[in-house]
A and B are shown apart, each in its own frame.
Chain A
Amino acid sequence: MKTFKLTISSPDGNIFEGEVYKLDVRGVEGELAIMADHIPFVTAVKSAPCAIWLDDDTKKEATCDGGLLTVGKNEATFISGSFKFNE
């Protein structure tokens, strides 16, 4: 499975930094998933549950309080004021 580098940053530091296979968030225009080799893309994200799939296909669910998602060349940065993984 092809992966891309994801950085999730919040005021408590970089909460997640690593290779993921897929990222699910709710953008202002609706739900979207980011996978490897996505075109460069920027959107604002709404407060909603979100999820990441690691390269071993494990799914990690989280809750975020809005933010900004920037997708570059096979890397993505998600900046959120509050981001918490569900235990």
Chain B
Amino acid sequence: MANTKALRVRIKSVKSTEQLTKAMGLVASSKIRRANINMYKSREYLASLEKSISLLTSSQDAQKSPYMQKRDTSRTKIVIIAGDRGLAGGYNANVFRLAKEYGGAEFIPIGKRACDFYGKEINSSEKYSFDEAMTLSRELCREFCEGSFDRLGIIYTTYHSVMSQEAKIKWILPLSRREESSDNAGMIYEPDHETVLNLVAAEYVAGVITSLVRESFACEVSARRMAMDSAGKNAKQMISDLSLQYNRARQGAITQEITEIVAGSGQ
């Protein structure tokens, strides 16, 4: 017969877990709206940025810029964007799994989980500002031009819907050349093509980082809400199973006692 005391303790512990998942789910839900708004806004920004950069990289003059030089890709740096907290389903695990494919690369983590994982200084992906991205980007661009590394990628999570997110890698440096478009004809560059591109490259890298951090954060809160929803459902199911077991055990004990008393009184 199951021990009623042990069952009672388990039910209590599952109940407190259920409360915790409910609270975390609620916090995530309240953050989803804001995170999504921020994500859509930064997507607009990224779209304009990509459009301008493709205009700048499409011409022949821009090919001289150090940001366009394709080199041997042995030395790679990767900015990896993970969450601030766990309990978000496979969100962090997917990012780290993808990172494993680039074993030889040097990682620059954003988000508390990633910082813990790579043992770097802690920063928050929720509060990551454009200024922080700009500082990082200036540093990276300087190192790239000096030739300290050959390519720069960003591992992030792309948002399809609340239900589905996917870890991906985006290569940003060296800048890839886009097809020459008709928009470019007769365009005047001040002071010249290469200078404009060199000045704007750091801004582009910072813009991409900020935008992808915001997209990843929207994925994190969505993933957490889904994970907490299903954890809450599981907890409810477990509580009902355990309660049934507990009631059976309690009833069994009472029946046994009655039988014993009846048997004793008959003697």
B-contacting residues of A (Cβ < 8 Å)?
Answer: 7, 9-14, 27-29, 39-44, 66-68, 70, 72, 77, 79, 81-82
Contacts and interface: CB of A to CB of B under 8 A. Distances in A.
A13 B189 contact: no
Contacts of A10: 45, 130
Given A40-B187, A40-B188, A42-B188, A13 B42 contact: yes
A11 to B, nearest CB: 5
Interface of B: 38, 40-42, 44-45, 48-49, 51-52, 55-56, 130-131, 134, 183, 186-191, 195-196, 199-200, 203, 206-207, 210-211, 214
Contacts of A27: 190
A67 B191 contact: no
B186 A39 contact: yes
A44 B44 contact: no
A43 B196 contact: yes
B200 A44 contact: yes
Query: Which of the listed residues A9, A14, A41, A82 has the most CB atoms from chain B within 10 Å of its own CB?
Result: A9
Contact of B190 (A13, A14, A43, A67): A43
Nearest to B190: A43
Given A28-B190, A28-B191, A44-B199, A79 B48 contact: yes
A41 B187 contact: yes
A10 to B, nearest CB: 6
Given A11-B207, A13-B41, A42 B48 contact: no
Contacts of A44: 195-196, 199-200
Contacts of B203: 66-68, 79, 81
19 contacts: A9-B49, A10-B45, A10-B130, A11-B45, A11-B130, A12-B38, A12-B45, A27-B190, A28-B190, A41-B188, A41-B190, A42-B55, A42-B189, A44-B196, A70-B52, A79-B49, A79-B52, A81-B130, A82-B131
